[in-house]
Amino acid sequence: MSTEDRPMSQMMKEGCADLHDKAEHAKVPTRMVSGEMTTEEYGLMLQQDAIWNKALDQAILKHRDANPYLKALVEDVQLQGSYFDADLAHFGLPADCEPTPGVRAMCDTIEEASNANPLTLLGLHYVREGANNGNHYVAKKLRAAWGVEGDEGLRSMDPYGKNQRALWEKFKVTLDAQPFTPEEKEHMVQSGRVMFERVMAIHEDLAAATA
């Protein structure tokens, strides 16, 4: 099947598969899945992730009305800032903190995309939205490890709960219906790969800080 014929969601999955596997087996995700991550470590991660998620939300909102792809795909429920605010409040953590080098690099990438090519924002958002599939499972592991129930403190990890699979399928169907050019498809894949690299760098910062 040619590049022109392959669905965008398939291209994203195949084009980022190696980095997805690498990210999934890094130290921080492994600690979460194994239930070894403490609430203190989780809090540090929340504070850092809140910074770049809000930056991505703001950049998307800046361009959404004028960009048909962002307008078609990014609904308000997908904007993550409010979920992080709720989680930070649950743990009594301030939203303001010094960003790590990885978070600064992520924010720089978001700003550059906003200024140069808003399609990059969609590639970044695709990876963020797709991560909720694995995070839905991770949240269950953390709840069990911490002996808690419900979504308090874990909204940013599992924003859609039982609706996760249905919303992801809807997102992919809408994505695949967009009239991307071959060049735009390739740009999306490369943007997704950048997102994985940035997230892994952020996790490396966290692993070093909590070693």
Residue 102 lies in a domain: yes
User: Which amino acid is it at 206?
Assistant: L
Residue 6 in any domain: the answer is no
Domain span including residue 157:
23-209
Q: How many CB atoms lie within 10 A of CB 194?
A: 20
Residue 54: inside a domain, yes or no? Answer: yes
Considering the domain boundaries, does residue 72 fall inside one? yes
Question: Is the pLDDT assigned to residue 23 strictly greater than 60?
Answer: yes
Residues 6+ apart with CB under 8 A from 25: none
* Mean pLDDT, range 79-88, rounded to an integer: 97
Q: Is residue 18 part of a domain?
A: no
Q: Say which CATH number the domain at 88 has.
A: 1.20.910.10
How many domains is the chain partitioned into structurally?
1
Amino acid at site 25: H
In a domain, 14, yes or no: no
Q: Note whether residue 7 is domain-resident.
A: no
Q: pTM value?
A: 0.95
- 79 domain residue, yes or no: yes
Q: What is the pLDDT of residue 1?
A: 45
Q: Is residue 4 within 8 Å of residue 183, measured between CB atoms?
A: no
